[in-house]
Amino acid sequence: MTPTLAPSSRVQLTDDGKLRHFLTTEHLPRSLLEDILDTAASFVDVGGRAIKKVPLLRGKTVVNLFFESSTRTRSTFELAAQRLSADVLNLDIAKSATSKGETLLDTLRNLEAMAADMFVVRHQDSGAPFFIANEVTPNVAVINAGDGRHAHPTQAMLDMYTIRHYKGGFAGLKVAIVGDILHSRVARSQVHALNILGAEEVRLIGPKTLLPVDAEALGATVFTDMAQGLKDVDVVIMLRLQKERMDSALLPSEGEFFRLYGLNNDKLQFAKDDAIVMHPGPINRGVEIASEVADGPRSVILNQVTFGIAVRMAVMSMAISGQDSDSNALAASTESMEGAGGARGQR
Question: To the nearest 10°, the Cα dihedral for 100, 105, 107, 112?
Answer: -170
Q: Quote the least distance from Cβ 25 to ligand CP, whole Å.
A: 15
Nearer to ligand CP, 70 or 303 (CB): 70
Shortest distance (Å) from residue 186 CB to ligand CP = 7
Question: Which of these ranges, 35-43, 136-144, 253-261, 277-285, lies near ligand CP under the rule CB under 6 A?
Answer: 277-285
In whole angstroms, give the CA distance from residue 21 to residue 143.
6
Please, what is the minimum distance in Å from the beta carbon of residue 265 to ligand CP?
24
Nearer to ligand CP, 140 or 301 (CB): 301
Amino acid at 176: A
Taking 3-state DSSP, the helix, strand and coil percentages for the chain, each rounded to the nearest 5, stand at 45, 15, 40
Among the listed ranges 3-11, 129-137, 252-260, 276-284, the one in contact with ligand CP (CB under 6 A) is: 276-284
CA 293 from chain centre, in angstroms, equals: 24
CB burial class (10 A; 0-12, 13-18, 19+) of residue 257? buried
Query: What amino acid occupies position 177?
Result: I
Whole-angstrom Cα distance, residue 1 to residue 228? 23
Among 25, 132, 146, 317, indicate the residue that binds ligand CP (CB under 6 A).
Answer: 146
Q: What is the total count of residues that contact ligand CP (CB under 6 A)?
A: 9
Q: Which is nearer to ligand CP, 25 or 73 (CB)?
A: 73
Residues 192-221 close enough to bind ligand CP by CB under 6 A: none
User: Quick one: 77 or 257, whose CB is closer to ligand CP?
Assistant: 77
Nearest partner of 181 among 146, 211, 150, judged by Cα: 211
Site string for ligand CP, 283-322 (x = CB under 6 A): ----------------------------------------
Q: Between 71 and 336, name the residue whose CB sits nearer to ligand CP.
A: 71
Q: How many CA atoms lie within 13 A of 82 on its CB side?
A: 12
Task: Work out how close the CB of 66 gets to ligand CP at its nearest, in angstroms, rounded to a whole number.
Answer: 8
Map the footprint of ligand CP across residues 46-75, applying CB under 6 A. 70-73
Amino acid (one-letter) located at 310: A
Supply the minimum distance, in Å, between the C-beta of residue 1 and ligand CP.
Answer: 16
155 is a site residue for ligand CP (CB under 6 A): yes
Identify which of residues 179 and 280 has a Cβ nearer to ligand CP in the complex. 280
Task: Spell out a b/e string for 73-94, using b for 16 or more CB atoms within 10 Å of the CB, else e.
Answer: bbebbbbbbbbbebebebbebe
- Asked whether position 282 contacts ligand CP by CB under 6 A, the answer is yes
**CB-wise, 13 or 158, nearer to ligand CP?**
158
Select 18 or 122, whichever has its Cβ closest to ligand CP: 122
- Concatenated DSSP letters for 236-294? EEE----GGG-SS--SS-HHHHHHHH-B-HHHHTTS-TT-EEE--S---BTTTB-HHHH
Minimum distance, C-beta of residue 183 to ligand CP, in the bound complex (Å): 13
Instruction: Give yes or no for residue 245 binding ligand CP (CB under 6 A).
Output: no
CB atoms within 10 A of CB 124: 14
In this complex, which beta carbon is closest to ligand CP, that of residue 76 or of residue 323? 76
Contact (Cβ atoms closer than 8 angstroms) between residue 175 and residue 27: no
Spatial neighbors of 345 by CB under 8 A, at least 6 apart, are: none
Contacts (CB under 6 A) with ligand CP, residues 68-127: 70-73
Minimum CB distance to ligand CP, residue 70 (Å): 3
Residue 272 contacts ligand CP per CB under 6 A: no
* Interface with ligand CP (CB under 6 A): 70-73, 146, 155, 280-282
